[in-house]
Amino acid sequence: MGGARELLHQQGVERTTLAQIAHTADVPPGNVYYYFKTKDELVEAAIAAHAGDLKAALAECERHRTPRSRLRALVRMLGAQGELAARHGCPHGSLCQEVDKRDDELQVAARQLIGIPLEWAERQFRELGRRDARDLAVALMSAYQGASLLANTFRDPDHLVRAARRLERWIDTL
C-alpha cells in the first residue's frame, strides 16, 4: 500500500492508474485487481492507511505530559514534512482537495484526514482551558495547510519550516 499511496500523492488520484500501481509494486496487474476491483477501492484503502498513520503519530504526541507540549510536538511533526510538501504538497490535504471535487463516499472518507488532527488539537486546546478550542484548532490546521501549499507552490520547504516555528511560538503564548 505504501507504493500506491506514494504514487497517488505524486501524481494525484485521477492521473494514477491501477496498472501504474502494479508496476510500482512490482506485481502483476491482476494482483492489484484481485484486491481492489476499482481505483476508488484502492483510494479508500489509501485514505484508511493515512488515517491509521495519523492516529499513530498523534499517539506519539500523547507521550508528552502537557497539552502545550503535545501541540508543540504535533507542530514539529508537521514542520518536518517540509521537503515532502515542497515536492508534492501535504499528502492529506492534497488528497482531501482532490477527492472533494467528486462529492461521493471518498470525499466523506477523506475528511477524516483533516478531521483527525483537527479534533485532536481541539482536545489539547480544551485541556489548556481554552473556550475557543475549536477556533484555535482550525487556526492551527489552516496555518499548516496554508504553509504546505506555499511550500509546494514555490518548491521551498522553508515556508513550512518557518510556519512551524511561528506556530510553536504562538502555542507558547496561549
pLDDT in tens, the chain (174 residues): 788 899 999 999 999 998 999 999 899 989 998 999 999 999 999 999 999 999 999 999 999 999 999 999 999 999 999 999 999 999 999 999 999 888 889 999 999 999 999 999 999 999 999 999 999 999 999 999 999 999 999 999 999 999 999 999 999 999
Please tell me the distance from the alpha carbon of residue 124 to that of residue 142, in angstroms, as a whole number: 16
pLDDT of residue 1: 76
Structural domains of the chain ordered from first start: 49-173 (1.10.357.10)
pLDDT of residue 57: 97
CB–CB of 90/82 below 8 Å? no
Please tell me the distance from the alpha carbon of residue 168 to that of residue 140, in angstroms, as a whole number: 10
pLDDT of residue 143: 98
What pTM was estimated for this model as a whole?
0.93
Please tell me the distance from the alpha carbon of residue 156 to that of residue 173, in angstroms, as a whole number: 27
pLDDT of residue 101: 84
Please tell me the distance from the alpha carbon of residue 4 to that of residue 18, in angstroms, as a whole number: 9
pLDDT of residue 120: 98
N-to-C CA span, the chain: 40
pLDDT of residue 109: 93
* Rg of the chain taking only CA atoms, in angstroms: 17
